[in-house]
Amino acid sequence: MPETMRAVEIEGGAGPIEALHITEIPKPVPKDSQALVKIKAFGLNRMDLLQREGHYPVPSQAPKTMGVEFSGVIEAFGCAPERGFKVGDEVFGLAYGGAYAEYIAVSTHMLVHKPKELSWEQCAGIPETWITAIQALYLVGLFKPGKSILWHAGASSVSIAGIQMSVADGASAVYATARQDAKCEFVMKELGATKAFNTSTQDWATEVQKATDNKGVDIIIDFVGADYFQANLDAIARDGIIVNLGWLGGSKLPAGVDIGGFVRKRIRYEGSSLRSRSEDYQGNLRNQLVEHALPKFIDGSFKVVIEKVLSWKDIQEAHRLMEQNKTKGKLICTID
């Protein structure tokens, strides 16, 4: 068995898109509960752009190779794998890193058996985005049927997952924001959102108040941060929960922000992340994905929305497409 493999690396450890290249690196050896998986496809996530630029805090247990979600075939195990998996099984899963490569050593606690109804590309686009959405919606946002919810960046992969789950699980109303009319139409017509607001042309917080008879929404899932902070406080309902997953609009608040809504409305504002979580925490979320969402993927109720599939040899183009912020859904790379 070869001791090396091909993987996407960053020249100099961090840099621009042009620094991405495929090279030979040592092949991982599975330990303890890990499996060695030969990768068929992997998904791109915005954290990959930040990691490439040297701006993402990579967990200590992660390899330097990028990529956290993948699909492939098990080739070997460590000494104590989770029961239910065997060599030759087709799987997909979540990792702390290392998916931009021919092989990955990953905990079996983060693997899911690949359904025959889904392609390699579809499965590679599920783990990070859908598990993140499950975490934000249920564990942090405390969603229950009858609650109303707003997903920012409505055409992003996490929100595409979250909108579908919110609709399926009986939200009283599901709202979304996006920066293009086409994306607003997409989340309403294709995903079933109640209404979507174009943040480039509308005062979305005011529109939310109009749509809810000035009650606001019960839950807001936010990736933008500082730019939407005040508007989130204006749009949230009394006893509402705002879940912050990122700061695409900056992390430092401008002067004049009024935090009085925290007290007046009894707002809870909580930040969260997934990659920095323990294996046990992630494993519990994997179980929720299998129980809650996997049957709906199989029967077609839930869609894995893929913008484009590229060869991993075109990894620079894939990163360029993600940076342009024009995609709807996942960018997937296949390994030739």
Cα torsion 45, 49, 54, 57 to 10°: value is -20
Q: Indicate if 134 and 254 belong to the same structural domain.
A: yes
Are residues 149 and 72 part of one domain?
A: no
Same domain assignment for residues 172 and 84: no
Tens digits of per-residue pLDDT, 191-220? 999 999 999 999 999 999 999 999 999 999
Instruction: Tell me the sheet residues that pair with 73.
Output: 38, 90
**Whether residue 163 is found in the same domain as residue 211:** yes
pLDDT at 306: 96
As a whole number, the mean pLDDT across the chain is 95
Mean pLDDT of 319-334: 93
At 136 the pLDDT is: 96
CA 139 to CA 135: how far, in whole Å? 5
Range(s) of the domain holding residue 231: 130-271
Are residue 257 and residue 312 in the same domain, yes or no?
Answer: no
- Which two structure tokens, joined as six digits, stand for 213? 């008879």
CATH (domain of 75):
3.90.180.10
What share of the chain has pLDDT > 70, as a percent? 99
Shared-domain flag, residues 49 and 117: yes
Across the chain, where does the E strand assignment appear? 4-10, 20-26, 34-43, 69-77, 90-94, 103-107, 111-113, 148-151, 173-178, 195-198, 217-222, 236-244, 268-271, 306-311, 330-334
CATH of the domain at 186: 3.40.50.720
Mean pLDDT for 234-248 is: 95
Q: Summarize pLDDT for 19-50 with one digit per residue, the tens.
A: 999 999 999 999 999 999 999 999 999 999 99
Our count of domains for the chain comes to 2
Burial class of residue 277, CB neighbours in 10 A (0-12, 13-18, 19+)? middle
The pLDDT, as a whole number, for residue 250 is 84
pLDDT band at 2 (very low <50, low <70, confident <90, very high): low
Higher pLDDT: 277 or 68? It is: 68
Same domain as 163, residue 259:
yes
Q: Do 122 and 138 lie in a common domain?
A: no
Q: For residue 87, what are the β-bridge partners?
A: none
* Cα distance between residue 181 and residue 164, in whole Å: 19
Same domain, 302 and 173: no
On whether residue 250 sits in a domain, the answer given is yes
Q: What is the pLDDT of residue 69?
A: 97
What are 136-193's pLDDT values in tens digits? 999 999 999 999 999 999 999 999 999 999 999 999 999 999 999 999 999 999 999 9
pLDDT at 15 over 80: yes
Residues 232-260: what's their mean pLDDT? 93
Helix axes 127-134, 157-168, angle to 10 degrees: 50
Q: Please write the tens of the pLDDT for every residue from 250-308.
A: 889 989 999 999 999 999 999 998 888 888 888 889 999 999 999 999 999 999 999 99
Task: Inform me whether the pLDDT recorded for 70 exceeds 70.
Answer: yes
Euclidean distance between CA atoms 109 and 184, whole angstroms: 37
| Residues 240 and 315 occupy one common structural domain | no
pLDDT higher than 60, residue 1: no
- What pLDDT score was predicted for residue 34? 95
pLDDT above 70: residue 54:
yes
**What is the predicted pLDDT for the residue at 278?**
83
pLDDT reading at 56 higher than 90: no
